Amino acid sequence: FQTEVNYDTLEVRDGPANSSPLIGEYHGTQAPQFLISTGNYMYLLFTTDNSRSSIGFLIHYESVTLESDSCLDPGIPVNGHRHGNNFNIRSTVTFSCDPGYTLSDEEPLVCERNHQWNHALPSCDGKCHVHQVADVQGS
């Protein structure tokens, strides 16, 4: 999954229409390993400013029945780490980033009773550094 951050967004909703409950909005390299709907429909809307081309995204889907008291593996952010491997209902997992990257959302993920995480997987974003060049005048 790779789109232009802040310009290209994949919106995923739990149902057949753009008014269905929002599962998440994804951009950049931020996308969960799994998305779960409560029924047999998901609404996807890809919005782009069409100014650049990137890899885009590829989706594989299958129908599964959750018969456990847990959420699916939320994944691990690119350039990051997950802390916690318990995905049971009411459990939490946290994330951190490699040096030089910052976490987009510090809130831990919580596995809710509907077998879904309470929000999307955070991303690890590269820090931008500004270098000033000294004004050198020759004689």
| For the chain, domain boundaries | 1-63, 64-127
Does pTM surpass 0.95? no
Give the pLDDT confidence of 33-50 residue by residue, as tens digits.
Answer: 777 787 889 999 988 887
Give the pLDDT confidence of 80-138 residue by residue, as tens digits.
Answer: 999 999 999 999 999 999 999 999 988 899 998 878 889 888 999 887 655 555 556 65
How far is Cα 79 from Cα 81, in angstroms, rounded to an integer?
A: 7
What is the reported pLDDT for 62? 81
Residue type present at position 91: S
Mean pLDDT of 57-85: 85
User: Where would I find the beta strands (DSSP E) of the chain?
Assistant: 9-13, 22-26, 43-47, 80-83, 92-97, 101-103, 109-110, 124-126
Q: Which CATH number applies to 64-127?
A: 2.10.70.10
The answer to whether 51 and 43 are in contact (CB under 8 A) is: no
Q: What CATH homologous superfamily does 1-63 map to?
A: Spermadhesin, CUB domain (2.60.120.290)
